[in-house]
Amino acid sequence: MNKAKQLRDRMAERGLVHIMAAHSPLSAILAEEAGFDGLWASGFELSALYGLADMSLISMTQHLDMLRAIAAQSSLPIVADIDTGYGNALNVIHAIREYEKAGTAAVVIEDKTFPKVTSLAADGRQELLRIEEFQGKIEAAVSTRRDPDFLVIARTEALIAGLGEDEALKRGLAYAEAGADMVLIHSKKKDPAEIESFSRAWKGPVPLVIVPNAYPELDATRIRALGNIKMTIYGNYGIRAATTAMQDVFRRIIADGGVQNVHKDIVPVEEIFRLQKMDQVKADEKRFLR
C-alpha cells in the first residue's frame, strides 16, 4: 500500500501515531521491530550522525540519500524533516518532487529563515519568516504533491522564538488556511504546560503534531486527553540512545584494558547477523552459488 495512505489510515484508526526518529537504516529496522507507526527522518539526528550542528549544514542530497537507504530497509511510512524546505517556495517545489519520488509519506516544513538554527539550543537565533511568505511555501508544497494523501505538515517555531501563544495560534491558522494537512507546534519548555495550553486553545481545522523532546512527561495518555494531537514524534531519542550505549561501552573498554567485561553486556554478533538478514544470504548461497 502507498505509505502516505498507510500513515493516514493508521492515524484515523488509532487516533494518535508514534513516530520514531531514524538516522540510519539500522535504527529504522529497530524502530519497526519495536512497534512504531512510522519513522522521522530527523535533521537533528542526521546532523549529529555526521558530527555536525543542526543548522542547515547537511544538504538535501545527503538527507535524501539517507532517507532512500532507510526506505529500502523499512516498510514504515517516513515523515521527512525538510527543515525550511532548503530555501524559498521554489526550493520547496523541487524538494517536494524529490521527497515524494523517494517514497516519503509526509514532510514537515518549518517557518524559520534559511539557514535555520536548531530549536532546542538555549539562546538560539530564531528568526521566523513573514506569515505570507511561509504560506507561499505551504501552497507550493501542496500544489506540487502528486499523491493527495502525501501529508504536508506546517511547523511553527513561534513558541521557540518566544513570540507567545497568540502568534503561534495565528501562524497555525494561517498555515492551515494555506492548505497544510497538520500543524506541528514545537516548544523547548521543560514543562508541557505551553503545549497543553496551545492544544486547548487550538480551534483550527487540522490536527496537531508535537515533538516532546524538551518536555518528556507529556506521555501518550496525556496527549490523548488533549484530543487534537494526532501525531507524536520522538525527535532525538535514537541518537541519544545510541550515544548513551557507545559512550558507556567505549569508556569501559579503555578502563578495563580490553573487551573481556563489556562483551557480555552488548548484543552478540549473531543479533547483527539477524538484522542483516544473513539467513537470506545463506539461502541464496545454497540456491545460486554453484
Comparing CB distances to Mg ion, the nearer of 43 and 204 is: 43
- What DSSP letter does each residue of 219-280 carry, written as one string? -HHHHHHHSSEEEEEE-SHHHHHHHHHHHHHHHHHHHHTSSTTGGGGS--HHHHHHHTTHHH
Determine phi and psi for 32, rounding to 5 degrees. -65, -45
Residue 239 near residue 28, CB atoms below 8 Å: no
Q: What binding mask, one character per residue, do residues 184-213 give for ligand SPV by CB under 6 A, x or -?
A: ---------------------------x-x
135 binds, among ligand SPV, Mg ion, none (CB under 5 to 8 A by kind): none
Using CB under 6 A as the binding rule, whether residue 128 contacts ligand SPV is answered as no
AA letter at 73: Q
Q: What binding mask, one character per residue, do residues 6-25 give for ligand SPV by CB under 6 A, x or -?
A: ---------------x----
9 is catalytic: no
Q: What share of the chain is helix, strand, coil (3-state, %, to 5)?
A: 50, 15, 40
Q: What binding mask, one character per residue, do residues 65-104 give for ligand SPV by CB under 6 A, x or -?
A: ----------------x-----------------------
CA atoms within 13 A on the CB side of 144: 21
Residue 63 near residue 41, CB atoms below 8 Å: yes
Whole-number Å distance between alpha carbons of 191 and 241: 22
204 binds, among Mg ion, ligand SPV, none (CB under 5 to 8 A by kind): none
Q: What binding mask, one character per residue, do residues 20-59 give for Mg ion by CB under 5 A, x or -?
A: -----------------------xx---------------
SS3 at position 147: coil
Q: How far is the CB of 65 from ligand SPV (least distance, A)?
A: 17
Catalytic residue among 54, 83, 111, 181: 54
Q: Site for Mg ion (CB under 5 A): which residue of 32, 37, 45, 81?
A: 81
Compute the residue count for the chain.
290
Q: How far is the CB of 81 from ligand SPV (least distance, A)?
A: 5
Which residues in the 28-47 window bind ligand SPV by CB under 6 A?
42-45
Query: Which residue do the cell numbers 494518535 mark?
Result: 16
Using CB under 5 A as the binding rule, whether residue 111 contacts Mg ion is answered as no
Whole-number Å distance between alpha carbons of 235 and 43: 9
Catalytically active residues are: 54
In the complex, which residues of this chain contact ligand SPV (CB under 6 A)?
21, 42-45, 54, 81, 118-120, 211, 213, 235-236
In the complex, which residues of this chain contact Mg ion (CB under 5 A)?
43-44, 81
